[in-house]
Amino acid sequence: MDLFIINRYNDTNDDTHIIEQEAKRLEQLKQRIEERRKAFSVKKSSDVITLKEEKQTEILPDLPVSTNDDLPTEIPKPNTPPKPKEKIYAEKQKEFKVLGSSDFQKKSKVQRILPYWLSHPTVVSRDLNELSCPVEEQEWLHPVIKSTLLSEGITKLFPVQNQVVPFILNEHTLPKLFQPRDVCISAPTGSGKTLSFVIPIVQLLMKDVGCKIRALVVLPVQELAAQVAKVFKKYCNRTHLKVALLSGSVPFQQEQQELVRFTESVGWVSKVEIIVCTAGRLVEHLKTTEGFNLQHLKFLVIDEADRIMDNIQNDWLYHVDHHIKQGSELMTGKVQSLNWKNVSKQKLAPQKLLFSATLSQDPEKLEQWGLFQPKLFSAATNECFEDEDQIRKYATPAELKEHYVVCEAENKPLVLYNFLVEQKWDKVLCFTNAAETTHRLTVLLNTWACKGLKVAELSAALDRSMRENVLKKFMLSEIDVLISTDALARGIDIPDCNYVISYDPPRNIKTYIHRVGRTGRAGKIGKAVTVLLPSQISLFKDLIKAGGKEEIPEIKINTDVIDRLFESYASAMNTTREKINSELNLKIKNSIEIKRSAKSKIQKRKK
């Protein structure tokens, strides 16, 4: 601070006093500069000595001279060897870190440690042919359930059912106060996951009296919801339990009428015990249907949980949670005193049951479900979990044979034709990546194969009733080949679908697993083929590897086959083009007419 002079006004101030003071300061500064210069030159000479001793050869170019007044103004002599680069860096690094320095070491990789329940699942066998669990002999199965199973032709339980059903039943034998553990099931496609939640739910709810909603099953799409509701209805047939389907397949008011009724004495009462729904429709009912009450929910089932998790529609989980907690002391803020009576009155949260063939075993993703002491059943073996990458790997049915075939883009229809017509593959489900491709391919095959082959299409371009109709026909074998987008890739159970062809390769491993899983179901043999362009081979192999699968064999197509089919293909292609063009023209005509009539209506109204 003594470098600064503060001039204050006072009567006694005169110029001579100020000049004296300034001279004194200048003297002091000069003295300090001299001291520093001496200290600096001493340090320099000692550095030169050490340098000589170490016989350093590398020298730095001349250091720039500081012009700062505080530093010595003397320039180092040119013959004085400057400090070595490393030494300067080392000195500087003591003061601060130099970014980009080679001394920075890579951080050691953080080892992923899975929670115990994820790293130690109960392993479920994939073998559906050597079954050891006859329905008749299972004492834990209710006679009504047994007889329904037998009437459906199910004499032995599949491994996933054999393990999951008793576990769920057992969790509900605990005293009322104990919350049952939540369950996650990751088992291959077609391994019977649906019955592994339908059986315990129906059996446990059979004992309950009073009609209240006790089980809620959420699915990602309408078709799947309809399929699961059908299974529930079958198994509830000989019980007092009733099932409602809320998926938008019937008008909203009709769903409301099937769901609740109003009574003078008690008010709103539920008409059903089990609800099977899509997430979007569920939220609509939670918001608008009077008397829709989930306060007594015992089971919350999320089928195809990974798909639902990836696309949480309308924040449905939050709405369900909020609805269930309504009226509980957490929401009202009235916390009662802790005693046996109050504790035993406490409502338990519903048991969550999560199912999928590609259930993510990533703890961060599973976190959002808020699972209570979860238990995992998985078809992946225990050793797999020691490998950290195994977290993404999935199992496919043992009876499924997978292949791929490589051809140029223009030859893809020819390869398909060869499989369908020449090799006579029947009951084929063929996947494309776009509704437009689905339509073109259907028109082409119907033109080309004439009456030899019945080909139909299914995509979002069709309305719901048309989609239902096509699917029904395919199930009844009235259609030989169904060309579809990924709308049909998940969960749909088509008995006796013998072949799956991916005309366009799947975009990710999960889609691949679900597509190929439409065949080779319930222990039956199935064959899946993916058609690839030469440029897609390596990407496809990476995708397969990422899914934990070994390399799959290639089917070679003889070039003679392509040459032989080319002529008929060319003429079929011309007809297809004409048909599609005329369809397009018709569509344009229709839309113009609709617009015109709408305009004239508006003009009439204005007049």
Ligand X SMILES: Nc1ncnc2c1ncn2[C@@H]1O[C@H](COP(=O)(O)OP(=O)(O)OP(=O)(O)O)[C@@H](O)[C@H]1O
- The residues of the shown chain that bind ligand X, judged by CB under 6 A, are 154, 156-158, 161, 189-195, 357, 491, 493, 495, 517, 521-522
49 Cβ neighbours under 8 A, 6+ residues apart: none
Residue nearer to ligand X on the CB measure, 305 or 483: 305
* 8 A C-beta contact, residue 442 and residue 558: no
The CB-of-198 to ligand X minimum distance in angstroms stands at 9
Residue nearer to ligand X on the CB measure, 305 or 416: 305
3-class SS letters over 204-270: HHCCCCCCCCCEEEEECCHHHHHHHHHHHHHHHCCCCCCEEEECCCCCHHHHHHHHEEEECCCEEEE
Residue nearer to ligand X on the CB measure, 128 or 416: 128
Alpha carbon separation from 581 to 44, 449, 588, 589 (Å, rounded): 89, 20, 11, 12
Residue nearer to ligand X on the CB measure, 84 or 520: 520
The CB-of-151 to ligand X minimum distance in angstroms stands at 12
Please name the amino acid found at residue 237: N
* 8 A C-beta contact, residue 114 and residue 121: no
Residue nearer to ligand X on the CB measure, 158 or 232: 158
User: Which two tokens mark 177?
Assistant: 């106060």
Instruction: For 396-442, give the DSSP string.
Output: --TTEEEEEEE--GGGHHHHHHIIIIIS---SEEEE-SSHHHHHHHH
The CB-of-124 to ligand X minimum distance in angstroms stands at 11
Residue nearer to ligand X on the CB measure, 197 or 404: 197
* 218 three-state secondary structure: strand
Residue nearer to ligand X on the CB measure, 208 or 493: 493
Residue nearer to ligand X on the CB measure, 199 or 272: 199
The CB-of-429 to ligand X minimum distance in angstroms stands at 12
Longest dimension (CA), the chain: 122
The CB-of-408 to ligand X minimum distance in angstroms stands at 33
188 Cβ neighbours under 8 A, 6+ residues apart: 126, 357, 379, 394, 395, 396, 397, 517
The CB-of-405 to ligand X minimum distance in angstroms stands at 24
The CB-of-159 to ligand X minimum distance in angstroms stands at 9
Q: How far is residue 556's CA from residue 532's CA, in Å, rounded to a whole number?
A: 12
Residue nearer to ligand X on the CB measure, 298 or 521: 521
The CB-of-188 to ligand X minimum distance in angstroms stands at 7
Closest CA to 570 of 444, 430, 439: 444
Q: How far is residue 253's CA from residue 285's CA, in Å, rounded to a whole number?
A: 10
The CB-of-275 to ligand X minimum distance in angstroms stands at 19
* 401, β-bridge pairs: 527
